[in-house]
Structure 1
Amino acid sequence: MKAPVPHAAVPAALIVLTCAALLSSAPAGADDPAAHRVHYTVSATQTAQALVYYREVQPPNFGEYSHNPYLYSPSADVTVGPNQPWIFDTTLADPQDWAMVVVSLPGNHKELASPGFVCELRVDDVVVATDSGTKGALCSTRTW
């Protein structure tokens, strides 16, 4: 015959079982990092055609990105100016590694103008990078 279990051991066992159940019943994406709102703005001091590359989708890892960066960083051929910004919003899990917008003159306009490009990068409504340049600008938080 088994010895009876002391009453003090029962609450401890219940606590252990309850904790184990809670941990194992966590929602299916609980380990996923929270998405951050990323807001890109590009403008210029003079109206001009611009080529904008920006990170729209976060790649699963650097290896995937290096095999096809344009899959994650599309481009837009746009007209920007003092009252005509280009604006794009996306979400990224790790904006400190992946958020980026770069603007330059399109290939056929490189010798023609110096429009004074300006870019701004916001993450969760906080400005994290700005840049300006006569023919291009880069706003990025990445460390590589």
Structure 2
Amino acid sequence: MIFPRTSRHRVTTTLLAAAVTAGGVLAVVTPLAAPSAAQGPPPPPLRNVKYTVFAEQPFYVDIYYRDVDPPNWAAYSHNPYSFSPKAKAQIGPDQQWNLDVQLADPDQWAMVTATSGPGEAKPNIHCVLAVDGVVVATNQGPKGALCSIRSW
């Protein structure tokens, strides 16, 4: 069927208007689609954890600390040292060892411990653990100290 020129123009205009309308509806519907279940919940925000270790006498110490959240208890208990790096540091009354880390669950995983090792020296070691600027644990001992807020 052949349409006169004015009729073809009306048909084209009508089809174009229908296509724009349908496209507009798709644009509105698409962003409102539900998120995929594979995305899962957003990760928890990271919290600042600050570890501090010092001693009343200058001394070299071994320091273990947690700088990442283990994925779960099973992974941690299978090999805790893979989640607890070791640092050697000289500390004293005016020489602190400090480290800032970011943890999602510091109540479960934040931990720092320092020890002077074998020998007769007793440098009286102190540790301090702060979360988001608030001190949540302190400890001291003649040869070592452990700061943690975990319940296990």
Aligned-partner Cα distance in 2 for 1:68–1:55: 13
**Residue 21 and residue 124 in structure 1: after superposition, are their counterparts in 2 closer, same or farther (change >3 A)?**
same
Shift of 1:38: 0.5
Aligned-partner Cα distance in 1 for 2:32–2:96: 52
Q: Match for 1:52 among 63, 79, 100?
A: 63
Q: Match for 2:114 among 90, 94, 103?
A: 103
Shift of 1:23: 5.9
Aligned-partner Cα distance in 2 for 1:30–1:137: 37
Could you tell me which residue of structure 1 aligns to residue 133 of structure 2?
125
Structure having the higher Rg: 2
CA RMSD of the aligned region, Å? 2.1
Aligned-partner Cα distance in 2 for 1:49–1:120: 18
Shift of 1:78: 1.0
Shift of 1:22: 7.7
AA of the residue aligned to 2:140: S
AA of the residue aligned to 1:141: I
**Residue 134 and residue 23 in structure 1: after superposition, are their counterparts in 2 closer, same or farther (change >3 A)?**
farther
Could you tell me which residue of structure 2 aligns to residue 3 of structure 1?
none
* TM-score (normalizing by structure 2): 0.74
Count the aligned residue pairs. 122
Higher relative helix content:
2
Structure 1 residues 1-144: aligned runs within 5 Å: 21=32, 24=35, 31-106=42-117, 110-144=118-152
Aligned-partner Cα distance in 2 for 1:23–1:137: 50
Indicate the percent of aligned positions where both proteins have the same amino acid: 48
Task: Return structure 1 stretches of 4+ with deviation > 2 angstroms.
Answer: 20-25, 28-31
Unaligned runs of 5+ in 2: 1-27
Give CA-to-partner distance per residue, 1:7-51, whole Å, 9 cap, x none.
xxxxxxxxxx99x938638xx685211111010000000000101
Unaligned runs of 5+ in 1: 1-16
